Structure 1
């Protein structure tokens, strides 16, 4: 009975709104609901990495507009990283914006990729793009993915053909105080 009601609701939405929202659009709207909020994370895979071990990890969904969401990712006192998500033509692009304390771009920045399909409301995959391959040849086999549900946001990286795996999970049920501006931003 429940499945029948779900199908009827989907058909109703299609009749009223013209079509069901794509996975990318649903994911985007769900992520925008977190705008302005900050959360503590925990490394789930790749904990041996000295960059992240024993450091406080905070993400801040700091800036959202219709087409762009910027999420600074702080590792201890290091405020150099921002995940930049862009929504265009029912696809989502992920870029990694790395900056120095003075706001200038790091030499390794703007790498990432774009989804190859609309994905799902809770999962988006980003295979490395040509810009990434040109900038970091070894990263040509990178695949990033983000999962988002009612309780967590998880950022993941896998380098296909290697044992490289990194995953950090943020509990989005418990906000934390908003951190100060990341490198290159003004409060």
Structure 2
């Protein structure tokens, strides 16, 4: 799965592992120069970086852009204090990576309880690929199930790099299924 732009720090880790080990620092993100591949989080804002704390929501990286966050990571056997701010992260992927991900996807590998690729369409002239998907999830906190359709549009430059990604989803539908009421 390839995320679009988001507010965050710009690093990846495998959430299936007990420890939070950085396996990628996204180019031009707030994490560049602060985190390194192989860093293992010990704590974030004083909260131990355990799998249990991640799964029950005690340890969260969510928040407003520009807010500094302090963490302790273990780097090469030594604990290091780090601090960085949330900011705009714009990951880049090659056309081949995105197409391979779509073509090789298996519902068993997705985080969703159920997942279907409804349709994939490409406009080679304009270097654009659209993927229409449906998925059903179980919310980790409430245990409630929700479902939504999503259309993802990828645009590539001539070298095959993703230069734009956009999603249309049923976010308001998801929120209402989880018991939230959105007011304006």
Q: TM-score range by the shorter chain?
A: under 0.3
- Alignment TM-score, normalising by the size of structure 1: 0.25
- Alignment TM-score, normalising by the size of structure 2: 0.25
Q: Which has the higher contact order (CA 8 A, sep 6+)?
A: 1
Greater helix share, structure number = 1
